[in-house]
């Protein structure tokens, strides 16, 4: 080889190495719709010693790639999302609790779904062009921002329905819809069918093909990630699967795995959607490896609310067993979700991994919540929120390192001033192991009381209401709940007659 060519090759290698050493990390948020903490073969719940403990539902589901990702990083046994989808998604994008951004319900694409006595001034419009968002801030910092999958950030007629108005360079599949018209390419993902208004957009090239929606979205994600790598651009991939949301259409590739389970047909179909989502995760991890960027890519995996597995009553120990409740309910099964954070390829020599070390195969038992993603991801990317933008989330760096963060506020506010859903018109507040639920309109579902009080340290499955037997603790927790609502500027349900806002009553 001529000496000039050798020098050019050496300079190219040096330049590439220098870029890799100085480049910010790529970031993937892998968000699964309606996936609760028990919808996986990977155990998240722990015993008294903090060790992972398997339950029967963990034996039912098959998620080997979630196991693979967890082996490369850390999983949390107490990670809380909002109990329905749009509030969580906007909390990820803004770093704010839903009580502050006021999108406190899922967004019906075509009509205001506050509910009969719901807060009339809630934020049905969702996100708007010009809002501070995680995607916009990362784009300003030089990232290519890629949205693949479900958006559900705003109604159909408004600008928030299109993620490209919210800071994303690329949008594939994102719209106002909360569920796909169909999971099947042979049915054009719903276009032209009975659920045509919920057809997944931007996937015409797959129409008529024998391909599952989760796979089509994965192919799109892989293509756009590869393009960013070719262009030597750091990327932020927000990969929000429509799976495992209803309709529970069985994926025939995985159906034999559950045929003899004894579970109802819809529950079997739900499990096939879980396994198909897991295949997508594995395909993406393989792709990052093949592109040579796995060591510089931070992957964050989570669900957007508690499980919607069709396995029993929404307030029973069923869909999320041993936890009580289901998506939309006020129990832990309605808001506890799987959370894994890992470098796609752990490499101690990588500078970004040195700045944000994540132990492998670890479990974190301290409480964390969805708004925490916003400041954590911005810090990892070397970016920050503008002055004046309220951020409720707290950085997760210490927790991701496998340590306890004594400076954290171990609280979580979940505010749902709406109906109808699995639970109607309620607010819950966690403070350490204590949890209080306030019901604005008491019913049999609330034990005909405004108040439910649980000590999750002794009663993790919420079987014993202590509201009557622990009055001092109830008062303390309700004071915390009301203070948190006021701090966030929350909106409230209204009196059926006077239409005046109904604020929680202290006991």
Q: Is the pLDDT of residue 7 over 60?
A: no
Axis-axis angle for helices 85-94, 373-381 (nearest 10): 30
> SS in 3 state form for 93-149?
HHCCCHHHHCCCCCCCCCCCCCCCCCCCCCCCCCCCCCCCCHHHHHHHCCCEEEEEE
pLDDT band with cut points at 50, 70 and 90 for residue 385? very high
The pLDDT of 23-52, averaged and rounded, is: 97
pTM of the predicted protein model? 0.95
* CB 455 within 8 Å of CB 467: no
- Give per-residue pLDDT as tens, 46-91: 998 999 999 999 999 999 999 999 999 999 999 999 999 999 999 9
The H-or-E segment that residue 362 falls in is strand 362-364
Instruction: List alpha helices for 345-431, DSSP H.
Output: 351-355, 373-381, 397-400
148 bridge partner residues: 172, 239
- Give per-residue pLDDT as tens, 449-474: 999 999 999 999 999 999 999 999 99
Residue identified by tokens 């057809």 is 199
Q: Is the pLDDT of residue 10 over 70?
A: no
- Given this model, what pLDDT does residue 22 score? 66
- Give per-residue pLDDT as tens, 86-114: 999 999 999 999 999 999 999 999 999 99
pLDDT band with cut points at 50, 70 and 90 for residue 430? very high
User: 459: which residues sit within 8 A by CB, 6+ positions away?
Assistant: none
- Give per-residue pLDDT as tens, 266-307: 999 999 999 999 999 999 999 999 999 999 999 999 999 999
- Average pLDDT of every residue of the chain: 95
The pLDDT of 335-349, averaged and rounded, is: 98
- Given this model, what pLDDT does residue 497 score? 98
């Amino acid at each position: 080889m001529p000496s000039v060519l050798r020098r050019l090759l050496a300079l190219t290698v040096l330049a590439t190495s220098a870029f890799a050493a100085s480049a910010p990390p790529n970031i993937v948020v892998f968000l699964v719709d309606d996936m609760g903490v028990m919808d996986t073969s990977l155990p998240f719940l722990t015993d008294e010693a903090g060790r992972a403990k398997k339950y029967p539902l963990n034996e039912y589901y098959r998620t080997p790639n979630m196991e693979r990702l967890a082996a490369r990083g850390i999983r949390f046994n107490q990670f809380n999302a909002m109990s329905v989808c749009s509030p969580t998604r906007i909390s990820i994008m803004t770093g704010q609790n839903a009580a502050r951004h006021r999108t406190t319900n899922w967004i019906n694409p075509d009509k205001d779904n506050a509910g009969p006595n719901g807060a009339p001034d809630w934020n049905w419009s969702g996100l708007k062009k010009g809002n501070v968002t995680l995607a916009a801030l990362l784009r300003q910092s030089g990232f290519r921002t890629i949205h693949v999958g479900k958006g559900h950030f705003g109604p159909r007629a408004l600008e928030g329905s299109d993620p490209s108005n919210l800071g994303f360079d690329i949008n594939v599949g994102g719209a106002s819809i909360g569920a796909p018209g169909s999971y099947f390419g042979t049915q054009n993902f719903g276009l032209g069918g009975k659920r045509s208004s919920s057809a997944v957009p931007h996937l015409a090239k797959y129409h008529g093909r024998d391909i599952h929606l989760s796979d089509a979205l994965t192919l799109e994600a892989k293509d756009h990630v590869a393009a960013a790598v070719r262009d030597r651009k750091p990327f932020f991939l927000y990969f929000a699967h429509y799976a495992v949301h209803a309709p529970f259409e069985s994926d025939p590739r995985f159906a034999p795995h559950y045929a003899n389970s004894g579970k109802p047909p819809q529950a079997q179909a739900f499990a096939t959607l879980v396994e198909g989502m897991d295949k997508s995760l594995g395909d993406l991890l393989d792709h990052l490896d093949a592109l040579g960027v796995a060591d510089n890519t931070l992957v964050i995996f989570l669900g957007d609310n508690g499980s919607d597995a069709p396995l029993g009553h929404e307030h029973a120990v069923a869909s999320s067993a041993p936890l009580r409740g289901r998506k939309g309910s006020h129990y832990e099964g309605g808001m506890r979700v799987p959370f894994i954070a890992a470098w796609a390829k752990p490499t101690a020599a990588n500078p970004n991994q040195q700045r944000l070390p994540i132990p492998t195969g670890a479990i974190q038992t301290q409480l964390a919540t969805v708004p925490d993603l916003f400041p954590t991801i911005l810090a990892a990317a070397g970016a920050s929120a503008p002055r004046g933008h309220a951020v409720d989330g707290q950085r997760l760096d210490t927790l991701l390192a496998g340590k306890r963060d004594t400076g954290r506020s171990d609280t979580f506010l979940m505010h749902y001033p709406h109906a109808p859903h699995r639970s109607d018109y309620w607010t819950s507040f966690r403070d350490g192991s204590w949890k209080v639920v306030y019901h604005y309109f008491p019913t049999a579902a609330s034990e005909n009381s405004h108040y439910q009080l649980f000590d999750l340290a002794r009663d993790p499955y919420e079987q014993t209401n202590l509201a009557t037997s622990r009055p001092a603790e109830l008062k303390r927790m309700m004071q915390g709940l009301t203070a948190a609502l006021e701090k966030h500027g929350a909106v409230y349900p209204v009196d059926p007659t006077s239409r005046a806002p109904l604020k929680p009553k202290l006991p």
